[in-house]
Amino acid sequence: MTTQPKKIAITDVVLRDAHQSLFATRLRLDDMLPIASELDNIGYWSLETWGGATFDSCIRFLGEDPWVRLRELKKAMRKPQCKCCYVGKTYWVIVIMPTMW
C-alpha cells in the first residue's frame, strides 16, 4: 500500500523581505505590480506582502496609501493568500547603572 506524499505549502517573502532588507521597505507599488502577476502564476501557497515597517514607509517616505497598495497587490495576485508579517510594539527601558556595583 502506497501513501500519497504530503503537499508542501510554500510562502514567498520577496515582496516583503527583499526590499525591506535592501531598500529599507521603500519599493514603490508601481515597481511591485509588474512582478506580482508572475508571482501569482508560480503557484505559491501564500505571499508575504507586508512587514512591520510597510505601513510607516508607505505614508512617511513613499507618499502612498498602504491600503491601496494591499488592494492593488491582491488584484494582481488572485491565487495565493496575501500574508502580513508584523511584530507587536517593543518597549525598551534604559537604566543608568552606577559604575561600581
Q: How many domains does the chain have?
A: 1
- Of 63, 8, 27, the closest CA to residue 49 belongs to 27
* pLDDT at residue 100 in the model: 53
Rounded mean pLDDT, 77-99: 61
* pLDDT at residue 87 in the model: 55
- Kindly report the pTM of this predicted structure: 0.66
Please name the amino acid found at residue 9: A
* pLDDT at residue 80 in the model: 66
Share of the chain above pLDDT 70, in %: 72
What domain range includes position 46? 11-84
Within-domain flag for 42: yes
pLDDT tens digits, one per residue of 24-70: 777 888 888 888 888 888 888 888 877 777 777 878 888 999 889 88
Within-domain flag for 34: yes
Q: In what order do the strands lie in the sheet with 46-50?
A: 11-12, 46-50, 81-84
Round the average pLDDT of the chain to a whole number and report it.
76
* pLDDT at residue 89 in the model: 57
Half-sphere exposure at residue 45, Cβ-oriented, CA atoms within 13 angstroms = 5
Within-domain flag for 96: no
Share of the chain above pLDDT 90, in %: 1
Give the Cβ contact number of residue 45 at 10 Å: 14
Within-domain flag for 95: no
How far is 98 from 101, CA to CA, in rounded Å? 6
